[in-house]
Structure 1
Amino acid sequence: MKKIMIKDMPSFIGETVKIGAWLANKRSSGKIAFLQLRDGSGFVQGVVVKEEVGEELFAVAKSMTQETSMYITGEVKADERSTFGCELNVTGIEIIHAAEDFPITPKEHGTEFLMDNRHLWLRSRKQHAIMKIRNEIIRATYEFFNDRGFTKMDPPILTGSAPEGTSELFHTKYFDEDAYLSQSGQLYMEAAAMALGKVFSFGPTFRAEKSKTRRHLIEFWMIEPEMAFVEHEESLEVQEQYVEHIVQSVLKNCKLDLERLGRDTSKLENIKAPFPRISYDDAIKFLHEQGFDDIEWGDDFGAPHETAIANAYDKPVFITCYPTGIKPFYMQPHPERDDVVLCADLIAPEGYGEIIGGSERIYDYNLLKSRLEEHQLSMDAYAWYLELRKQGSVPHSGFGLGLERTVAWISGTEHIRETIPFPRLLNRLYP
């Protein structure tokens, strides 16, 4: 008898197999018990027929508590009614551990209760599907950049300065120096790009922003590519190709997970490059036409503004060339205007907001030095970053994609807290 995983069962129709599983749920109908089984790779129904297994085994099946662990054996049978395509006709059960009063039952629970029990909530079908989609986005990310000659690099998490010059940083002591948890690996990736040409990082970042919106986390993961000899428009092409790749990969490899979440996949099937572009200037005009009188040229967009712009398109949309005053110091000025920079934010459809921020970087030494001075940033802290512009500087561009916001959009999950295994929120550090 072969021990297999649930995900592989469709390849074993007609064979007797053994799986290690937990009992997600159960119901009985007279002399038949239906066991909803999971093993981390998937879910399957186990059918226990009293006449076939006898009184003793049937009693075991009926008395098992939710989340009891077991080894279970049976014949894999085709089941056209199941989206999975098969079920297990159970012939044997070996209980490993009987779970005690599992707190998350099939009834409705409040959000705070579920968050307090996040370590157990992850076992649910919905959370399992979201984590599988998250994993597929990560897998497809490595595939995309590896296939295009990028080198994975790992910037430090502890830094001595803020990449974007903001105050929303987590401070700590680094022996006798001040240090901060990283907001972004971008500056270090620029140095890496000068060495290796095309690089990308994937790691945790931290923002001490006291926000409670459904789009914000305190700790989140970023994919940050950086490319030497690549200018603004070329970078936009890479961004839209990357987003198309991860969306189409999820559609191809996570069909059951999307179905379990009730995701409208027709909206995802349309995500193909190229993506529409609208300038910041035109976006302001559009918002005024839509009745948004609360925003003027020079203001940053809020969630309602981004949603209104996104709703005008059926794909992600680039908003390009923001005012210099609301963007970080390192962005390259527009060649024909000194009031805007060569940058873009990519806004996801369906109200999910910004998923990518990117720009061409300043590569002129004197201009970057003056920008550091304008922002009153420490010349000592940024000396190494400025020196990159003295040692064979070249035009270069990069961007950062927020993983959790992207997972939320692709999976159709309303709140970002469900898109990371153990979310860190303004008032939550447990579990």
Structure 2
Amino acid sequence: MRPTVYIADIAQHEGKEITLHGWLYNRRSSGKLHFLQVRDGTGTIQCVVFKGNVAPEVFHEADHLPQESSLTVTGLVKKDERSPIGFELDVKSLAPVAKPAREYPIGHKEHGVAFLMEQRHLWLRSQRQQVILRVRHTVEKAIRDFFDERGFTLVDAPIFTPSACEGTSTLFEVPYFDLGKAYLTQSGQLYMEAAAMALGKVYCFGPTFRAEKSKTRRHLTEFWMVEPEVAYMDLDGDMELMEQFVSYVVQTALAKHRKELVSVLERDVSKLEAVKPPFPRITYTEAVDVIQKAGHPMKWGDDIGGDEETVVAKQFDRPVMVHRYPAEMKAFYFKKDPADPKVALGCDVLAPEGYGEIIGGGQREDDLPTLEAAIEHHQLPKEAFEWYLDVRRYGSVPHAGFGMGVERCVAWICGLHHVRETIPFARMMERITP
């Protein structure tokens, strides 16, 4: 058997006879020629079957293969300027591996999103979904590369947790043997704070779960999040890390996928080219002023929702950092601003083009009595946080961090309307299959 060649590497084999293994994406015929669009997961190439080059039964077979038949194709690699990849395959032989048992349900026509989500296991084979998943892969690798290259240590946070970071209303509760209740994690942050006191600069990267009953285009019940935490870092250092991180991830994805973003996803990449430091920084108070001037009935102390985020982000050509939110809006672990205790040393990064918050984070409270008082104020069970308080009892230092959801970032980079396309198998309020 000839070694398998992948379509992504086809340029290295110009003028040579090679063998591809893949699936039939589409086909058309023109007299003595059949044109087969064959994909192999790394790309798609046109395979030209000329009647005079193959056995009669092969020529007949090529004209009757159903969509998504798996097949092996052998032929000569030829340069073709009309091809999107610059080459085509002059077929010498082909052999089906398996033909679909029934008509493939996703044809080359428009389908409703509800139908496509039901067929998600097959929808992944479409060109658009392949591009999105490749961008996601690049984003995840860029995340790891960014932190690894800067001396961070990856620390895996637990999925089962005995308590909630911010109350239990948005957590999935599960029975846990004889110990009672446990919860699927909504964040690894508290554990990263402990790890940062051991390793200095750490991050966790894994699945998180939110039982929030939300059906917006920005929400999933299961998503992936990266959460760095750094000892001896304040809010200013944290914000600088945020903008460096976001810029690195976006520019890495753009550099690798520019052609696909434009040709397949029709993304206006000029919007991504502008994502470079420095990012504009405004306080929550300034953001409220912007929102009010735009005609929205918001007052100081209200949460900045999706519509309001869009109003603020529209003022800038790159992500904007909104910092120092009202302390009462933030979780118990946020440190208050010594210069103005009404606000917390927190920051959200809002992506442009209506994509909203992609990062949330800030400086953590490092003073033991203040943190104990905050736990009591939020009516949280102190015994569940004794281990977390130990982080302050033994060598407490200023520290800060943040969290970024992969799906929102990918949706923004790809210019997608809904985050459900950014994850292979979406989990939402109304969906737990396939």
Residue 343 of structure 2 aligns to a residue whose secondary structure is: coil
After superposition, the C-alpha distances for 1:65-116 in whole angstroms (9 at most, x for unaligned) are 1110011111112222233222222111111001131111111111111111
Match of 1:133 among 114, 132, 135: 135
Match of 2:125 among 105, 108, 123: 123
Match of 1:269 among 269, 273, 277: 273
Percent identity, please: 51
Residue 359 of structure 1 aligns to a residue whose secondary structure is: strand
AA at the equivalent of 2:185? S
Write the mapping of 1:236-247 to structure 2, written as runs, cut at 5 A. 236-247=239-250
Q: Give the whole-Å Cα distance in 1 for the aligned partners of 2:12 and 2:239.
A: 42
AA at the equivalent of 2:270? S
Q: CA deviation at 1:166?
A: 4.4
- Say if 1:346 and 1:355, in contact at 8 Å, map to a contact too: yes
- Say if 2:35 and 2:48, in contact at 8 Å, map to a contact too: yes
Residue 240 of structure 1 aligns to a residue whose secondary structure is: helix
Q: Give the whole-Å Cα distance in 1 for the aligned partners of 2:396 and 2:80.
A: 62
Partner of 2:259: 256
Q: CA deviation at 1:25?
A: 1.2
AA at the equivalent of 1:359? G
After superposition, the C-alpha distances for 1:368-400 in whole angstroms (9 at most, x for unaligned) are 000000000011101100110011011100000
Q: Give the whole-Å Cα distance in 2 for the aligned partners of 1:321 and 1:425.
A: 31
Q: CA deviation at 1:243?
A: 0.9
- Say if 1:83 and 1:256, in contact at 8 Å, map to a contact too: no
- Say if 1:66 and 1:102, in contact at 8 Å, map to a contact too: yes
- Say if 1:277 and 1:317, in contact at 8 Å, map to a contact too: yes
Write the mapping of 1:155-304 to structure 2, written as runs, cut at 5 A. 155-176=157-178, 177-259=180-262, 260-293=264-297, 295-304=298-307
Moved more, 320-329 or 73-82: 73-82
AA at the equivalent of 2:370? L
Say whether 1:16 aligns with 2:17. Answer: yes
Q: CA deviation at 1:54?
A: 4.0
Residue 126 of structure 1 aligns to a residue whose secondary structure is: helix
Per the normalisation by structure 2, the TM-score is 0.97
AA at the equivalent of 1:7? A
Match of 1:396 among 396, 399, 403: 399
Residue 91 of structure 1 aligns to a residue whose secondary structure is: strand
Residue 292 of structure 2 aligns to a residue whose secondary structure is: helix
Structure 1 runs not aligned, ≥5 long: none
Structure-2 change in CA distance of 1:146 and 1:419 (3 Å): same
Say whether 1:427 aligns with 2:430. Answer: yes
Say whether 1:413 aligns with 2:416. Answer: yes
Q: Give the whole-Å Cα distance in 2 for the aligned partners of 1:48 and 1:345.
A: 56
Per the normalisation by structure 1, the TM-score is 0.98
AA at the equivalent of 2:108? P
Q: CA deviation at 1:2?
A: 3.4
- Say if 2:53 and 2:91, in contact at 8 Å, map to a contact too: no
Moved more, 179-188 or 42-51: 42-51
Write the mapping of 1:89-104 to structure 2, written as runs, cut at 5 A. 89-99=90-100, 100-104=102-106
Match of 1:313 among 304, 311, 316: 316
CA RMSD of aligned residues (A): 1.0
Partner of 1:149: 151
Q: CA deviation at 1:422?
A: 0.3
Say whether 1:352 aligns with 2:328. Answer: no
Q: CA deviation at 1:363?
A: 0.5
